[in-house]
Amino acid sequence: KLVSREFQQNNTVVTVGDAHFGSDSIPVIAGPCAIESYDQLYQAGVDAKAAGAAMLRGGAYKPRTSPYSFQGLEKDGLEIIKTVGRELGLPVVSEVTDPRKVDLIADCVDMLQIGTRNMQNYVLLKEVAITKKPVLLKRGLSATIEEWLMAAEYIMSGGNNQVVLCERGIRTYETYTRNTLDLNAVPIIKYLSHLPVIVDPSHGTGSWRWVTPMAKAAIAAGADGLLIEMHPCPEEALSDGPQSLTPNNFAQLMEELEKLSTVL
Ligand code: PEP
Ligand code: MN
């Protein structure tokens, strides 16, 4: 298998602008769950960059559990993230949910995100493989590690080896947290595969309070990066406010990660 360590011994490094996933650096992707306006994303980008984030994120097409929830700014959102990324010199990532929109989104972002709900949308996986853009492949919320790696195999066998895996929590009997962050996956993926793996403690916990400790745990476990939801004003967020860090808390997390890196 193309994803396996047997096939390739040395780590794959996925480069997006100045962010190198799978290298000695630990790039952090930060930004709001959803792009809500130019001002909101610009402010998030300024705060993310000031704190040391390597990439800016924001969803334009939001796969919401309820069809009545905010679905994203769609094409307008893509224009916003493209503009803000250029203005701030930050590479950007946004989610693609529809095979018919892959080219449109690929033209506006530096990395394509496949969300948890679409990890096994094989038509979509084959379509992102064709673009040759780096792909952030989130783990399906009920996917085994094997199934997750096979999803990556679809992208690689389609001709795109620029895949970053993202552990974002799985569904278990525990309901105190939104999901159960499976940090086992980090060393296991590093053992089974040469692909970089990053961790998203925001969706993994569902509450801002647990994001910083789990982000630190992820790095200690060997993660190649982090995805952190951060909003200029989480209480006003149109999606995932409860799990979003304030810019202040995000800056503090980045400082703590810096300290952690000196002891690891
Ligand atoms: C997101 O990153 O905002 C998102 C929708 O993530 P997931 O697919 O992991 O739920
Ligand atoms: Mn979200």
Q: Which residue in 202, 140, 137, 142 sits closest to 171, CA to CA?
A: 142
Among all ligands shown, which has an atom nearest to the Cα of 138? 1
Q: How far is the CA of 262 from the centre of ligand 2 (A)?
A: 30
What is the dihedral angle through the alpha carbons of 127, 132, 134, 135, rounded to the nearest 10 degrees? 20
| Position in ligand 1 atom list of the atom nearest CA 169 | 9
Cα-to-centroid distance, 263 and ligand 1 (Å): 31
Per-residue pLDDT, 214:
98
pTM beyond 0.80: the answer is yes
Q: What is the pLDDT of residues 175-191, one digit of tens each?
A: 999 999 999 999 999 99
Question: Which portions of the chain are predicted below pLDDT 70?
Answer: none
For residue 264, what pLDDT is reported?
86
Q: Which of 119, 199, 203, 227 to mutate to test the pocket of ligand 1 (most atoms within 8 A of CB)?
A: 203
Task: Return the CATH fold of 14-263.
Answer: TIM Barrel (3.20.20)
pLDDT tens track for 21-71:
999 999 999 999 999 999 999 999 999 999 999 999 999 999 999 999 999
Query: In the structure, which protein residues have their CB atom closer than 6 angstroms to any atom of ligand 1?
Result: 33, 59, 115-117, 138, 168, 203
